[in-house]
Structure 1
Amino acid sequence: MKKETNQPEQKEVSLKPLYARSVVNSLGAGMVNPFMGAYAIKLGASESDMGWFQSASNISNNVMQVFWGRLSDRIKRRIPFIILGTLIMSTLWIPMIFVTNATQLILLIALQALIGSMATPAWTALIGDLVPSTKLGRANASINLWASIGSVIATIASGIVMLSVGGSPQEMMFIPLLIAAACGITSCVAMLRIKEKKNGEKLNLRKQFTSDFLNTLRYAKKHSQFVRYCYVVGVFEFFMSICWPLIARTQVDVLNATMLHIALLSVVQSIVTIAFQSWAGKITDTIGRKPALLIFRLTLITVPLAYAFAPNIEILIVVGAFWGMTMALGNAAVTAYLLDIAPEEHRGSFTAVFNLMIGVTTFFGSLIGGYLSAYTVGIFGLVAGLQIVYMVSMSGRIIGALLHFRLKETLKKS
């Protein structure tokens, strides 16, 4: 894609489809995403099943992103990948209505993530293409702000609908899954308003897939800041993901949370994120990416601690407000730092490599967390067994957070 040379007013206009797509797509995601773990539990998922539930989506969502990101960079197009990926992901919500066990749900989620992953690197690269580096923090914060607004509205509505409908897990999820599919498909319309220059270059995908993948990895390895960022984030993400399979089990079986409780937990956190999103963008573009990242990671240490010892779901809902504030910093800083260190013409590829790294580390982290919790629960019982694994996750998060001190600041002061 050509380097943007338009005037600021034109750039502002060109971002409107991004906001529209974010809001509508997040309406769909908010209807179902906060409840999928509980859905799996209600379908009979065990601790090890929940490990696969998290791991399958983590690796599937990221394994093909290097290819999609590189392909997007080569043909200098973003929109086709965003539209096709979003359409596939949205359509696959519908079969989830008819699953009869957790294994079927896990397979569908993995397939959805695998095929739909073409949208992620293209979306991140498109933002980098349209927004100057000095405004990336604010732009990411603003886009995430509107996405969060859509998600909050959908999540609380979905929780109320499921509480009202009741019945089997499939009956409760029927309306939210249909709405999620419809919103995702509709969100693609906004992307048609962004005009990209067509590239006449013909590519042999079968011949170039392997070479492109290896070339992308070799090229990325030459950028020391990018390698360091992947290493530091990878350590944190690994230990962070260890407790992911435990969260839905804790909510449903330990704290006896209803779907409305789960909705409120997500909504409270999201509302606070919305309230602080603009502030977070300004902070990230003012004091720098590194301090924002440090605050974000250090506060995430409290998540496994809270889940391990919370006496009821209401306490978690209150603490979720604190996490929402720091999530605003994370939304603004993580992507801004990545786009700062990625060469402009390789943003799609670097984003894909970064996400592949996260996919691999969280795949093993979630899988280990699932099987480790199955072992500890079998020996020490449900509550104590889960607490042990939460403490393992917390200890690793401390190490991963401290590693962020090794990062270099990337914000260029004007």
Structure 2
Amino acid sequence: MDNKKLIAFRSLIIAAGATVAASFVGVYGVMIGATAAEMGWLQSSSNSLSNLGQILWGRISDRVGKRKPFLVSGSVILAVLWFLLPYSRTPVNLIVLYSLISIFSAMITVNWYSFIADNIISERGRFLTLINDIASAGTIVSLIAMVFILAKYPDDVVIPFSTAAASYVISAVTVFKFKESKSKSVMTRNLYKTLKNLKNNNAFYKYFRATNIQSFFWSMAWPMFPITIVSIMHFSLEIVAVLTISSTLTMLLTQYIIGKFIDKVNRVPIIFLNRIMLSGIPLMYAFFNILPLFILLEIYSGFIGSIQNTVTTSYTLDIVPQNNKAEYISILNGFNGMVYFFGALTGGYLLTLFLSIEPLKIALLLSYLIVFAGRFLSSFLFRGLIEENSGGRNNSVLSILFKPKGAGSPSGAVIHPR
């Protein structure tokens, strides 16, 4: 079996296993009694380490010059960690284990896109679209299966987490069969110099600044989403799977059409409108009180999430310098990771503060209103972005590395396993 088929197969397996399991982690944290502050630590540490780790692992693997050893060893380690996750039993143990999963997922991510960059040369953009569609289909089919399985075994997180572990065992075997070409460096050798020259790229710097400011308010809501799902709405894991299907399926069905439309227009107004629309999700979580409305929320989230993925990835890859794409995207992800850490942590402690004076429902309402205000006002920073005419919307392999966080996942914003 050639590399293309092996890559597609691995993408399908990970999407059906680890990607699906990640959507239950935040909910599981609430189920085992995590406080608002502990949920802040869970979301902040996992997402920040996932992003920051890409810079570290990218430089290490560049020096080694091979991707397969990292992909195989990382898969084995992740299989063990996912297997242990349902037995964590306490919020602190869950935070530690999921942070480790985030670190090694970052190792997989940066070496995964680098391997594809090194070994898939012809029709790379079309191939990336294909494997992304395969992965999305695998996620949806697996989630549908989870609905029926979890209906029979309610609240049994061992099922999705063990499936994730199995997917990484299969991944390790699959990656071992890859035929690896000589690795090409994807990082520049002088990170400090790149940071120093960041302001010289006006288009990127404006986007970099706007993204990091809004990311703070963006991540504040992540600890609140699963608390609302479990403690206010009392949704089971089966319902969480249904909600995730709603958003994922909507995204899959609309992303291609949106991508074709966006290729013909100025992206800056769409980015601004998209950010305004995304700011409404905390309000929906605050005021929706029945399952059909939450399904509608997830459909809305999937639709605007597909706009976000298509526009933001395309725009970002077009405004970074041609010879420094990996470096700039890693810097963007790294800084976002630091902002995510403080944002999610602030959101958790903000909710804790309100809980000391108000009941849970009112405390969540007040917290969501603050998040909405911050998201909405910071959206106006995106009005000043500069549209770059790069001669075509960029379908670089680096789109695998750069993925905006989920808009309104019922489990909170989680890492996207690769």
Which band: TM-score by shorter chain?
A: 0.7 to 0.9
* Code of the aligned partner of 1:144: N
State yes or no: 1:183 paired with 2:167. Answer: yes
How do 1:51-200 and structure 2 match up within 5 A? 51-72=40-61, 80-124=69-113, 142-166=130-154, 172-188=156-172, 191=175, 192-193=177-178, 195-198=180-183
- In the alignment, the residues of structure 2 paired with residue 195 and residue 341 of structure 1 have an alpha-carbon distance, to the nearest angstrom, of 30
AA partner of residue 197 (structure 1): K
Q: Is the 8 A contact 2:282 2:372 kept in 1?
A: yes
Distance 1:58 1:276 in 2: 26
Tell me the residue number matched to 1:33.
22
Q: What letter is aligned with 2:180?
A: K
Change (3 A) 1:85 1:355: farther
Instruction: Give CA deviations for 1:263-295 in whole Å, capped at 9, x if unaligned.
Output: 111101111111112112223333254344334
Q: In terms of mean alpha carbon deviation, does 306-315 or 281-290 score higher?
A: 281-290
Partner of residue 410, structure 1: 388
Q: 314, 319, 332: which is aligned to 1:341? A: 319
The sequence identity of aligned pairs, in percent, is 29
Please list the CA deviations of residues 304-326 of structure 1 after superposition, one character each: whole Å capped at 9, or x if unmatched: 01000002233111221122112
The aligned residue for residue 10 of structure 1 is none
For residues 181 and 217 of structure 2, what CA distance do their matches in structure 1 show? 40
Q: Given the superposition, is the C-alpha separation of residues 187 and 309 from structure 1 closer, same or farther in structure 2, using an over 3 Å criterion? A: same
The SS at the match of 1:410 is coil
**How far does the alpha carbon of each residue in 1:82-104 deviate from its partner, in whole angstroms, 9 at most, with x for none?**
55444433331011122121110
TM-aligned CA distance change 1:15 to 1:218, over 3 Å: farther
Alpha-carbon distance in 2 for matches of 1:128, 1:333: 22
Match of 1:361 among 327, 339, 350: 339
Tell me which protein shows more helix as a share of its residues. Answer: 1
Contact 2:67 2:183 in 1 (8 A): no
* One of 294, 297, 322 as aligned partner of 2:272: 294
**Residue 366 (structure 2) pairs with residue 382 (structure 1):** no
Distance 1:326 1:185 in 2: 34
* Superposed displacement of residue 297, structure 1: 2.0
Taking the aligned partners of 1:271 and 1:154, their CA distance within structure 2 comes to 12
In structure 2, the CA distance between the partners of 1:309 and 1:328, relative to structure 1 (3 Å rule), is same
User: Could you list the per-position Cα deviations for residues 101-137 of structure 1 after superposition, in whole angstroms to 9, with x for gaps in the alignment?
Assistant: 11101110011112331233344556667889x985x
Q: Say which SS state the counterpart of residue 23 (structure 2) adopts.
A: helix
Indicate conservation of the 8 Å contact 2:118/2:182, yes or no.
no
Q: Label 1:365 to 1:214 Cα distance change in 2 as closer, same or farther (>3 A).
A: same
The answer as to 2:247 corresponding to 1:259 is no
Superposed displacement of residue 386, structure 1: 0.4
Distance 1:222 1:185 in 2: 45
> Which has the higher mean CA deviation after the structures are superposed, 177-186 or 335-344?
335-344
Give the count of matched residue pairs: 388
CA distance in 1, matches of 2:161, 2:298: 25
**1:27 match: secondary structure:** helix
Query: Counterparts of 1:97 and 1:383 in 2: how far apart (Å)?
Result: 28
In 1, the alpha carbon distance for the partners of 2:144 and 2:60 equals: 38
**CA positional deviation for 1:229:** 2.1
Mark the runs of 5 or more structure 2 residues left unpaired by the alignment.
Answer: 393-418
Task: Provide structure 1 residue ranges, at least 5 long, that are not aligned to the other structure.
Answer: 1-12, 202-207
Amino acid at match of 1:180: A
Q: CA deviation at 1:77?
A: 5.5
Q: Distance in 2 between matches of 1:222 and 1:48?
A: 39
**TM-score relative to the length of structure 1:** 0.83
Whether the 8 Å CA contact 2:203–2:386 is kept in 1: the answer is yes
Paired with 1:180 and 1:117, the residues of 2 have a C-alpha distance of 16
3-state SS of 2:182 partner = coil
Moved more, 89-98 or 118-127: 118-127
Shift in Å, 1:262:
0.9
Opposite residue 195 of structure 1, the aligned amino acid is E
| Aligned partner of residue 357 in structure 2, secondary structure | helix
Look up the match of 1:321.
299
Contact 1:89 1:113 in 2 (8 A): no
CA apart distance, 1:163? 3.2
- My pick for the range that moved more, 387-396 or 118-127, is 118-127
**Is contact 2:18–2:163 with CA below 8 Å preserved after alignment?**
no
* Structure 1 residues 154 and 113, CA gap change in structure 2 (3 angstroms): same
Q: Contact conserved, 1:280 with 1:328, CA < 8 A, in 2?
A: yes
Offset at 1:401? 2.1
| Distance in 1 separating the partners of 2:257 and 2:71 | 28
Structure 1 residues 404 and 70, CA, compared in 2 at 3 Å: closer, same or farther?
A: farther
Maintained 8 Å contact 1:144/1:331? no
Secondary structure at the aligned position of 1:44 is classed as coil
Query: Deviations along 1:161-209, whole A, 9 cap, x unmatched?
Result: 233124xx6xx1122211111113323555554632257x9xxxxxx99
CA deviations over 1:331-352 (Å, ceiling 9, x no partner): 2233333322334443332222
Distance in 1 (alpha carbons) for counterparts of 2:117 and 2:318: 9
1:50 aligned to 36, 39, 42, which one?
Answer: 39
